[in-house]
Structure 1
Amino acid sequence: MLVHVKRDELLAIAAQTAKAAPKTATSEAVLGIHVEADSRRSMLTLTATNYEIVIRASMGASVEQSGSVVISAALFPAAIASLPEQGVDLETEHPGQLTIRSGHARFRLAALSGDKYPMPELPFPDDTLPVSGLRSLARNTLFAVAEDGVPSLPMKCVRLHVGPDGLKASASNGFCIMEADGDKQCKGQIELLLPARSLKVLASLSNDSDVYEMGVTGKSLVFWSGTLLFSARLVEGKFPNTRGVFEQFKCQYSVHLDAAEFIRALEVAESVSESNHRVELAFGEHEITVSAESACGRSSAPVKALVLNAPKQPFYYNSRKLLEYLRLEKEKITLEFDKSGLLAVRSGSTRYVQSPMRAPVQAAETGKAA
C-alpha cells in the first residue's frame, strides 16, 4: 500500500472512526482501525466498530498502490496529529508495519493485515430521509436517559419518532421525561429506539448544519453524509408512554420566573443537599424559595416570580436532574405543577416533566400536625 494524503483531512477521519473502536476486546484486530487504499477510486477509507456502532469515513487520495492494514485506534490519530507538514505518505514497506512520513517526521507503527479485520456488513438502506440538527437533539434528550444500573434496555435509549410534523425525540429515566422537536422537514412514519451511547457518539461527530440520509437496514439505523457512514444497532422493546403523561397533565399551580435566577438558587441550595439531591420549593406571594438541608447545615435562596394559585405546602425535587434540564433554557420559563407536585415545563421546542420526591421525615410530620 502506498498513498499520499493531506494531514488535516486524514486526521479528521481518523479521529472520527477511532470513536467506534472498543477499549478492550478479545481480538487485537477489533481494537484497531481498518485502513484501505483504493487506486481505482482514488479513495482512502477508514472503518472501525465495537459491534454496537460502525463508523466508516472516506477521503480522496492519490493512491499509487492499493492495500489495507489494521492500525491501533489510539496511536494512529495521535501520530497524524503530530506530523509537521500537510503532505502525508502512508506505506507498507514491510509486512506487519505501516510507515507514516511527513516532512522530516517518520513513524513506523505495528500493523495487521487488513484481511484480519472483522469487517461488518454495511448494506445501504432502501429508503432514506434527510435529517439535520442531530447535535441539538442529542443535547436536549441524553441527560434524561436512564443510567447504566437500570436493567431496562429501552430506558437506556432515545426514542426517535418521525411523523407528519417532523422528527421528535423522547427520553425517560423513570422519574423525569424529556421530549424535544428535531428536524421539522424530516417527515415520514417510523418509530425506533436508538441507544443513548450510540446517539452520543453520532452527536460528537456532527454539527447541526450537517445533513444525513437516515434509514433502517435490518436491525440497524444508518446515517450517511456522503463521506461519513454511521450505523447503530437498534433496541427492541416497549418504551414508556411519555406522550400520555403530557396529554393527561392537569396544571393546578404555575410559576413564571427567570431560568438563570432559578438555576443560581438551585445551585446555592444543592451545595448542602443530601446525597439524594433533594431540594424544597416553597411558594410565596411574589417569589419561591429554594432550600435544602442536611447534616452539613441548611441553605436557601429566594427567586422573584409571578406565582399563580400557589400551593400551601412545599414540593421536593431532585435538583441534579432539574438543573440539567434548566441549563438548556436561557430566558423566562413557566413551571407548572399538578395537585401532587408533578412538575412540567414547556418551552419552545422542548417539553419536560419531573416527578416530585418524598418530603423529608421531619417536614412530613410537620405537615401532618398542621
Structure 2
Amino acid sequence: MIQRYRVLGRSVAEGDELQPLLAKAYAQKAQVLCECRKGTDLPLYISHRNDRYVLARWPGSGARHATACDHYEAPDYLTGMGQVRGAAIIDDETSGETSLKLGFPLSRGSARLAPAAITNDKPTVKSSGQKLSMRGLLHVLWDRAELTHWHPKMAGKRSWFVVRRALLEAAASCRAKQEALPHVLFVPESFKLEEKEDIRARRRTALERVYRSRDEMMVVVGEIKEIVSAHGAERIVLRHVGDMPFVMDTDMARRFHKRFAGELALWQAQHGSKAEQDHLVIAGSFARRREGTFDLIEVALMPVTPEWLPYETSDERYLIAKAVAEKRRFVKGLRVNLDVDMPIASLVLKDTGEEACAVHIHDRDNEVAEPLEALLAGQGVAHRFWKEGEPLPARVTRQRRWEAQAAA
C-alpha cells in the first residue's frame, strides 16, 4: 500500500506529484497530515534539504502512526531514547529544531590536559539523561537519520553515500553548544579518484573550525578501515579519508583497547570474512595538532551489520541477520546513554499486525529485575523473548495490516 498524505487540502500518494505540493506547502508554512490512520490527525513537518523536501514526524509522535506507516517509531520507553527525551534532547515543535546537550567539550584551553589524559579509562557512558555522551550523540544521530529502520526494499541500497546523506540531513535541524550541529560535525565524503582534488578542497572547508584554532574541536563520524601501529603510537584510519589518520599515543591506545575490547572483538569476528563485511563506526571529538595530525579525545565505537544496523552482541547480530534474511520490517533499538545492564528492546517488528512486537533477547539473570519488569509491562506493543533457534513472531502481510489500521 502506497503512503498517502493530506497536503493543501488534497490527498496525495507518495510519488512524483508530492514534491511540487510540498514546495507550495513549505512556502505557505502549511501543515501536512499523514493519512495512515483513518480519522486521526498525525501532523508532519516539512524541511528543505539538498534540493528536496523531506517529511518528518513530530518528535514523540512516531508511536501514534500505524505500524505499516514509514513514519512509525517504536515507543521511547523501549530504548534509551526515553531517558534523554526532554532533557538532553529538547525538541521545538514550532520550528522543528532540536537542541542537544552534550556531556563533552568542543573546545579546549591551553590549561586543559592533553587529549590522551582526558580519554577515559572507564566507559564514558553513564546512566544520566541530562547530557549526551559521545555514544549517546552517535545513537541519536543514527536514530534521527532512520538508519535504525529496515524494510526489504532497502536491501543492497545502503552505501556509505546513503548513510552520510542521512546523517547530514538528521544533523541539519540540530544545535549543540549554541552552534548549528553541522558546523562541528565532520562526516567523510565518499572518495572518488577522479574528484580527488575537489574532495580535498571541500574537506578543508568542512574542517575550517579545527584549522582555525588548535583549541577548537569537532566531532567525526566515520567507518574505521584499520588500526595500525606507528612509531610507538597507533593510528586509526577511516575509509574515504586514508590520508587523514587520527593519532593515539601509547597511553591512549591502551585505554582505547581496554574500553572498547568488546566492540573491537565483535568487529574482528566478522572482519575478513568472504561474505559482505560488517562495519565499525566511530564517533569522536578531535582537535588538530601543530604538525597537522589529529588527536582523538572522546570516542565511541559502534559495530554495525552490512546493512549499517547497529548491534551490541553476537546474539543480537544473529537476530538482525535473521530478520533481514526473512525480509521483515523493523526498527532497531538503541541504548543511547543507558548502562549495559539496563534492558532495552533489541528490535521492534512492524509487520506483526495492528500491534507492533518488541523482541527481547536479554539475559534476565544478569539484568536489573525491576526495569525489565517495567519494560515488559509497557503498553502499545506486544513483547516477545527470543533466543537463537526460535522463529520470529509471525508476520501479517502489509496489505492486510494497512487495511485493518486504516479502518480502525
Query: Shorter-chain-normalised TM-score: which range?
Result: under 0.3
Which structure shows the higher strand fraction? Answer: 1
TM-score (norm 1): 0.21
Q: Is the radius of gyration larger for structure 1 or structure 2? A: 1
Which structure shows the higher helix fraction? Answer: 2
